[in-house]
Amino acid sequence: MDFRQLKYFVATAEAGTVSRAAGRCGITQPSLSQQLAKLEASLGLTLFQREGRGMILTDAGRALLPRARRILAEVEDAQANLLHDVETGYGRLAVGAIPTIAPYVLPQAVQDVIKARPTCEVLLREDLTENLVEALLDHQIDVALIASDPGHDLLEVQTVATEQMLVVVPDTWDIDPRGVLLEQLRNQPTIALSDMHCLGKQVDLYCQLKRLNPRIVCRTTQLATVLELVSCQIGLAIVPEMVAGSDRGSGRRFVPIQEHQPTRPICVAWRKSLQRPRAALLFVESVKKRLQNPSQD
């Protein structure tokens, strides 16, 4: 049973004869009769009783008719409205982001997507880079925000911004608000993010290259916990600039490093050779604009 056979079946039921149905459908009578025979064979039921030149529905034909009309109507609706749904963003967008980016970037970008495409459902996944890579490869998410290039052959990675890192210190510390020197950071009690995060690895590498030799007094897995530990005067920390922009806590302040400032890339990752959903493109554009022009918020 296929769409064409159902169309011929309904036309015949409504026209009452094969000749009128064939004329309505723009095909020859033998072709229409052949398709009706195939439909009956696939169902294993007789749909019409032939009386002279007329076609009378059997019980099976009467049962099929409303169903066939619904199917044809659904197909016609899909043909008529599919392009409109694509243009207006109907459907679902799945976005992934690492935890050290997600809370600072996703809410505003999702707001932009939903404002432009109110019917789009956005699914968010906050996870580590390696898990987001697997999700992209398995088609579980459409796009991912990460802070390093995983170097996978099936992924395309684009750097959309470069973010400065800042030092966050207890507000009781005597630190020049214009910035600190590397020498002032050496051998200081430090709170570090776990190296399960790429940010933790990036900060560790920076400290190693600059020979800061920090005294790690605590490691944790959450940036919010890092900030609270700083407020408790346990030590300092190096964190992304976007953290400072959204911080509403007390007992701490953020200052830049005056020399050899650490940075991290903000990257968008896609699966290669796949068409990118329009909602995903809109999402990425929003991320770019907000990262490159943070004052707009």
CATH number of the domain to which 183 belongs: 3.40.190.10
Residue 75 tokens read as 């197909």
First to last CA, the chain: 56
- The DSSP bridge partners found for residue 236 are 190
Q: Say if residue 117's pLDDT is above 90.
A: no
Domain count along the chain = 3
When pLDDT is cut at 50, 70 and 90, the band that residue 86 belongs to is low
Residues 170 and 139 in one domain: no
* Residue that finishes a domain, picked among 72, 88, 104: 88
Both 51 and 102 in a single domain?
Answer: no
Looking at the fold, whether 152 and 174 belong to one and the same domain comes out as no
32-66: per-residue pLDDT in tens? 999 999 999 999 999 999 887 789 999 999 999 99
Question: What average pLDDT does the segment 120-145 reach?
Answer: 94
Closest listed residue to residue 172, CA positions, set 251, 257, 254, 235: 251
Q: In whole angstroms, what is the distance from residue 127 CA to residue 106 CA?
A: 13
Domain boundary among 32, 62, 88: 88
For the ranges 63-67, 82-86, 211-215, 258-262, the lowest mean pLDDT is seen at 82-86
Do 217 and 200 share a structural domain? yes
Q: What is the span of the domain harbouring residue 137?
A: 91-159+265-296
Q: What is the mean pLDDT of the chain?
A: 91
Q: Any idea what the CATH number is for the domain that residue 27 is in? A: 1.10.10.10
Note whether 33 and 74 are same-domain residues: yes
151 lies in the same domain as 224: no
Clarify whether residues 45 and 81 are in a common domain: yes
The Cα 101–Cα 108 span in angstroms is: 12
Question: Longest C-alpha distance within the chain, in Å?
Answer: 104
- Considering the domain architecture, whether residues 278 and 155 belong to the same structural domain is answered as yes
Confidence of residue 83 (pLDDT cuts 50, 70, 90): low
Measure the CA–CA gap between 177 and 180, rounded to whole angstroms.
8
Does 101 lie in the same domain as 18? no
Together in a domain, 25 and 67 = yes
Final residue in a domain of this structure, among 62, 88, 114: 88
What confidence tens digit (pLDDT) does each residue in 19-29 have?
999 999 999 99
Q: Are residues 194 and 226 in the same domain?
A: yes
Does residue 65 share a domain with residue 207?
no
DSSP labels, 65-96? HHHHHHHHHHHHHHHHHHHHHHHHT-EEEEEE
Stated pTM of the model: 0.71
Assess whether pLDDT exceeds 80 at residue 85. no
